[in-house]
Amino acid sequence: MEIYNFSAGPARLPKEVMAIAQEEFCNYQNSGSGIVELSHRGKFFAPVMERAQANIRELMNISDDYEVCFVQGGGNMQFAMIPMNLLNGGTADYIDTGVWSNKAAKEAKFFGTVNIAASSRETKYDHIPAQSEWNLTPNAAYMYITSNNTIAGSEYLPLPKAPEGVPLIADMSSDIMSRVVNVNDFGLIYAGIQKNLGPSGAAIVIIRKDLLERTPDNVPTILRYNTYTENDSMYNTPPSFTIYMLALVTDYLKKLGGIAEVEKMNIAKADKLYGFLDSTDFYSTPVAKQDRSRMNVVFRTPSDEMDAKFVKEATAQGLTDLKGHRLVGGCRASIYNAMPMEGVDALISFMKEFARVNG
Ligand SMILES: *Cc1c(COP(=O)(O)O)cnc(C)c1O
């Protein structure tokens, strides 16, 4: 039976990539060792690091005004590193659209003033507040958004811009490289690798070079962005396997024709699944139509008991990890880049049958 894993992260990776990793696991390029056994300073790993960075630059069309680096500690570490390096007692605007932006704002309070410029918390994060209602600070140190809300199931479509002179910072952990983004609109973009691009172990950080100069002198070496940019992300031992997998996944995305092609597939998958949800009374989705995430489709059956039954029976059919996040309940289908249309089709067939029997 074909298994389709709808996990929100770590998540399914392209089968082709998993097969290459398996083949090379014990003997990387006839070195006699696996990549996890080889020194990060040796001749085998250096080209892997270079390729991962070059692929990201190419796929996202990143100019020389930006540095690309890899930082351990995942998304949560960036919640702290961003204000630690860039806030320095100033005021930052946070748009609170979900659990992750809320957590990020909490960390920023250790380093300055946080203005929650808009929030949809009161309505359980069921939409992205309209930009016309954002209460922005003049000359803020930066403006912070979560481009895709993995738990709530909402996404900025389109992405906002920050006021002139204010760096826009985006947590793109769950939609990086799923859609075309103009990097020049941002001061900093980061993303945990484990949602859309590889295994867990690090975040990609794309930072505009002028922002590197903002870091106060009292920030420890390992927490300074320039430590990563000046040492090719190898100040200390990097997560070499994660970066190797990232190189393979980004090779694969290039082979598919780049992000514009991938975005088309993602739109087709999401349209099909939401189209089905809208066509039934049995299932519902709480997210405002214009803000529905193309990556994480959040939905419910008529009751909590039925949700549990749905998840259990789906798992038995090879459709796994459909349980909603523990904070919100219900069901969630994460359909990142690596989920093929066949997986979405299989899910819809199951949902139809489940609704017929239980409706
Ligand atoms: C998963 C996730 C995080 C947290 O990532 P960790 O690597 O577990 O710290 C942060 N932001 C978003 C949008 C996420 O989806």
Within a domain: 9: no
* Residues 33, 24 contacting (CB under 8 angstroms): no
Query: Do residue 73 and residue 135 come from a single domain?
Result: yes
- Predicted confidence at residue 247, as pLDDT, reads 98
- Predicted confidence at residue 69, as pLDDT, reads 98
Tokens of 102: 């809320």
Question: SS3 breakdown of the chain: % helix, strand, coil, rounded to 5?
Answer: 40, 15, 40
Distance CA 91, CA 176 (A): 27
Which residue, 230, 256, 282, sits at the end of a domain?
A: 256
How far, in Å, from the CA of 100 to the mean position of ligand 1? 7
Q: How far is CA 242 from CA 2, 27, 190, 199, 215, in A?
A: 26, 17, 16, 6, 27
Tokens of 61: 């069309």
* DSSP secondary structure letters along 262-303: HHHHHHHHHHHHHHHHHH-SS-B--S-GGGB-SSEEEEB-SS
Q: Which atom of ligand 1 is nearest to the CA of 77?
A: 9
* DSSP secondary structure letters along 137-166: PTT-SEEEEESEETTTTEE-SS-----TTP
CATH of the domain at 120: 3.40.640.10
Within a domain: 44: yes
Distance CA 91, CA 142 (A): 8
Domain holding 344, by residue range, is 258-358
Average pLDDT value over all residues in the chain:
97
Pocket test for ligand 1, best of 72, 81, 97, 100 (most atoms within 8 A of CB): 100
Query: Do residue 46 and residue 59 come from a single domain?
Result: yes
Within a domain: 92: yes
Q: Which of 93, 171, 291, 307 is catalytic?
A: 171
Query: Do residue 44 and residue 184 come from a single domain?
Result: yes
Which residue, 227, 256, 285, sits at the end of a domain?
A: 256
CA quadruple 253, 331, 270, 78: dihedral positive or negative? negative
Within a domain: 4: no
134 carries an active-site annotation:
no
Query: Do residue 244 and residue 336 come from a single domain?
Result: no
Q: CA 43, 237, 170: angle at the middle one, nearest 5?
A: 110
Query: Do residue 176 and residue 284 come from a single domain?
Result: no
Within a domain: 11: no
Residue 153 CB less than 6 A away from ligand 1: no
pLDDT tens digits, 298-314: 999 999 999 999 999 99
Strands 319-320 and 296-299 turn out to be unpaired
CATH of the domain at 317: 3.90.1150.10
Whose alpha carbon is nearest atom 14 of ligand 1? 173
The HSE-up count of residue 299 (CA atoms within 13 Å, CB side) is 25
Query: Do residue 126 and residue 194 come from a single domain?
Result: yes
pLDDT tens digits, 243-301: 999 999 999 999 999 999 999 999 999 999 999 999 999 999 999 999 999 999 999 99
Whose alpha carbon is nearest atom 4 of ligand 1? 75
Query: Do residue 34 and residue 124 come from a single domain?
Result: yes
Query: Do residue 119 and residue 196 come from a single domain?
Result: yes
171 carries an active-site annotation:
yes
- Predicted confidence at residue 36, as pLDDT, reads 97
Within a domain: 305: yes
277: Cβ–Cβ under 8 A, 6 or more apart, which residues? Answer: 283, 284, 285, 297, 299
Query: Do residue 127 and residue 235 come from a single domain?
Result: yes
**Structural domains in the chain (count):** 2
Query: Do residue 321 and residue 221 come from a single domain?
Result: no
Q: How far is CA 42 from CA 31, 46, 71, 238, in A?
A: 11, 7, 20, 13
Query: Do residue 216 and residue 266 come from a single domain?
Result: no
Which residue, 215, 233, 256, sits at the end of a domain?
A: 256
Within a domain: 314: yes
Query: Do residue 242 and residue 306 come from a single domain?
Result: no
Within a domain: 3: no
Tokens of 304: 């909590």
pLDDT tens digits, 110-150: 999 999 999 999 999 999 999 999 999 999 999 999 999 99
